[in-house]
Amino acid sequence: MNNVLEMNNLTKKFGDFIAVDHMSLNVREGEIFGFLGANGAGKSTTINMIASLLRSTKGEINLLGKNITKNVRFAKMNTGIVPQDIAIYEDMTAYENVSFFAGLYGLRGKLLKERTEEALEFVGLGEKHKSFPKNFSGGMKRRLNIACAIAHRPKLIIMDEPTVGIDPQSRNYILNSVRKLNEMGCTIIYTSHYMEEVEEICTRIAIVDHGKIIAEGTKEQLKAIITDSKEIWIGIKSADLLQLDQLKLIQGVTSVRHEEHMLKIMSKSEINNLNRIIQQLIMNQVEIRSIEEQAPNLETVFLTLTGRNLRD
């Protein structure tokens, strides 16, 4: 399979701060590649370098086999970016916005008109082509921004947290658009801090933390990282008397989180320590309401690798 994108030792420093730290990665043709990481992990900085919006401090990026700093126009023509912060002109109509951005990529005349209409239709704003975005909902603005990014039919489409702060209906619309664009032959890079979304649509995922890729693979491969872990959820009435530190000392327990009426205990799967855990809870006079073992998901993978929740 061909690589659409190759990143080698990509690094970005802001002063002394290293936002992206020697990242290397290949994205293959036809993938919906997920960039999953907490806020501040370095996702936007990375993709802004891929989209030539930001200059790297070190490292190289190849798009379709060509270095993007040596082939600026080629790289721009073949990339479409939907930025994290919506970038559209409020005082231009939906049509004018798409037409303006497509024009930047060199489309003219009849082709420009066709592609503009096609992109607006694609994001479900065909009927709204004469409307001004200032009257649009957040979801509609985001969809318009997607239309601006795809009208020139790029090979690689990058979407930076496109579903943050929008209604569920627009969210579903966007996720379906990603699938459709992919079926039409586009390779997609999709960044998010929502693991459910990434798990739902991405064919391969990189987990990013502190500017580094700490794991990479299909969701099945990522979950396989933690087959030696299990997560036990214990419903409790109150944790007032609970000594969390005592729980953490129990053999096999790797982390304990307390969320309202739920204790979430990560433990090595080969050690049967449930009796010890329950004993401790009873000793602390904690009323147990339920016990269940959770199947691992990407959140557990993230927690295992970083020791933190994705949304902390």
Ligand X SMILES: Nc1ncnc2c1ncn2[C@@H]1O[C@H](COP(=O)(O)OP(=O)(O)O)[C@@H](O)[C@H]1O
- Per CB under 6 A, residues contacting ligand X are 14, 17, 19, 37, 39-45
User: Whose Cβ is closer to ligand X: residue 54's or residue 239's?
Assistant: 54
Q: Which window, 14-22, 38-46, 162-170, 227-235, contacts Mg ion (CB under 5 A)?
A: 38-46
Chosen from ligand X, Mg ion, none, partner binding at 42 (C-beta under 5 to 8 Å by type): ligand X
How does DSSP classify residue 153?
Answer: -
* 165 C-beta neighbours (distance < 10 Å), count: 10
User: Whose Cβ is closer to Mg ion: residue 158's or residue 286's?
Assistant: 158
Q: Does 44 bind Mg ion (CB under 5 A)?
A: yes
Chosen from ligand X, Mg ion, none, partner binding at 45 (C-beta under 5 to 8 Å by type): ligand X
Q: In the range 174-213, which residues lie near Mg ion by CB under 5 A?
A: none
Where do the DSSP E strands lie in the chain? 3-14, 17-28, 32-36, 58-63, 66-67, 79-82, 156-160, 187-192, 204-209, 212-217, 229-236, 253-259, 262-268, 288-294
Q: In the range 225-284, which residues lie near Mg ion by CB under 5 A?
A: none
Q: How far is CA 63 from CA 58, 79, 296, in A?
A: 17, 9, 35
Distance CA 302, CA 232 (A): 16
**Least separation in angstroms between CB 7 and ligand X:** 14
User: Whose Cβ is closer to ligand X: residue 50's or residue 120's?
Assistant: 50
State the residue for tokens 């603005």. Answer: 141
**Least separation in angstroms between CB 160 and Mg ion:** 6
Contacts for 257-262 with beta carbons within 8 Å, 24 or more apart?
257/309, 261/235, 261/236, 261/237, 261/289, 262/233, 262/234, 262/235, 262/236
User: Whose Cβ is closer to ligand X: residue 87's or residue 288's?
Assistant: 87
Chosen from Mg ion, ligand X, none, partner binding at 172 (C-beta under 5 to 8 Å by type): none
User: Whose Cβ is closer to ligand X: residue 42's or residue 133's?
Assistant: 42
- Residues at the interface with Mg ion (CB under 5 A): 43-44, 84
